[in-house]
Amino acid sequence: MKTINVGMVGYKFMGKAHSNALSRVGMFFDCPAQINKAVICGRDEEGVKKAAAKFGWQAYETKWQNLVSREDIDVIDITAPSDAHKAIAIAAAQNGKHIFCEKPLALNLDDAREMLAEARKAGIKHQIGFNYRFAPAVRLMKDIIDSGKIGTIRHLRASYLQDFIIDPEFPLVWRLRKEVCGSGSLGDLGAHFIDLARYLAGDFKSVTGMQKTFIKSRPLVENMTGLSASAREDAARGEVNVDDATAFVAEFQNGALGVFEATRFAQGHKNDLSIEINGDKGSLKFVFERMNEVQYFSADDEEGLQGFRLIQATEGVHPYMYAWWPAGHVIGYEHTFVHEMYEFMSAIVSGKAASPDFADGVECSRVIEAVELSSQRRAAVDIDSL
């Protein structure tokens, strides 16, 4: 069996999620490769050393430049903040490494296109971390749509609602600095439903958007882990230069209409990603906070007995569930990362294209940029114009 040596850049929120996934793939799936968590990389030597021991990595580096040039590394897994993606990915591609990169692919569309071009030039496998595609319930929705059961898609509506920065004294974390993250709620949250919309309903044709920044300045951050952060009481303040909330409408290439909302100011919503698709023969609903469930309406049901039915996507016939537990024994957020890592490693061994890949990342960046441009112009923007 082939051994794949992985080097990962970043060791916090996504670093932990990816480390766990890499450890679990071979335990639950018949992975065609032996995954070796070889080297983890981070700038803070004390922090990355602790992470290496805790997450089960064999060694650590403090410079990603050293990591991507190591001959004993086959895959570079990028979980660092968005401003680091381009340089690391291009260097990794030029060193012949396969690349897994968290979303969004880059700070802007031009950088995303450059990353895709370098990956294709190098002939390596490349995948982007749109993990919500890998929830069994979402895969079931895709199967239902592709089977024609809901007919021609007419409407799609999606939202991603959080409230973790609603306190005006919450610190100025990197997700609120455009030079580091590229985009605010749109790129952080909206990127996920943009990808799900493309995956389930096809490509966008045009968008019309608006954006709002509610809190203009925040105290400078002292410590951050995941979505938690702290600042000194006497901390200076810095400018918030990304959107706190974004809303847009869209037309798809197939003629369907879409309505979208991303915000981190929805009190009471912790990680509320939802998507609904209406066709002329039926409808589907998915809410991530109930991630094992799909609601399905079929117009073919007997008159008088029609209504949304609840499907628990936890049986062995549902995507990926054959590898986990008996029916009704639900899985969680972390399992989506196991599924995407399984698919990526399988693509490397089989030689088939990984999916979603950097081309999907480029298309997502194209929609993000179009929404931002539309908000500035206060007018619709055609996706093909970018």
**pLDDT tens digit sequence for 208-240:** 999 999 999 999 998 877 788 888 888 899 999
**Contact (Cβ atoms closer than 8 angstroms) between residue 219 and residue 236:** yes
**pLDDT tens digit sequence for 158-209:** 999 999 999 999 999 999 999 999 999 999 999 999 999 999 999 999 999 9
- From CA 371, how far away is CA 364, in angstroms rounded? 11
Global pTM reads 0.96
Please report the pLDDT score of residue 337 as a whole number.
98
What integer is the mean pLDDT of 295-307?
Answer: 97
Domains of the chain: 2-132 (3.40.50.720), 134-353+364-377 (3.30.360.10)
Query: 333-350 vs 13-28: helix axis angle to the nearest 10?
Result: 60
**pLDDT tens digit sequence for 315-347:** 999 999 999 999 999 999 999 999 999 999 999
Please report the pLDDT score of residue 234 as a whole number.
83
**pLDDT tens digit sequence for 84-126:** 999 999 999 999 999 999 999 999 999 999 999 999 999 999 9
Angle at 13 between CA 225 and CA 100, to 5 degrees: 145
State percent of the chain over pLDDT 70: 100
Closest CA to 77 of 96, 52, 97: 97
Please report the pLDDT score of residue 226 as a whole number.
76
Q: What is the DSSP string of 218-272?
A: EEBPSEEETTEEE--TT--EEE--S-SEEEEEEEETTS-EEEEEEES--TT-SSE
Q: Report how far Cα 142 is from the mean position of its chain's Cα atoms.
A: 17
Please report the pLDDT score of residue 186 as a whole number.
98
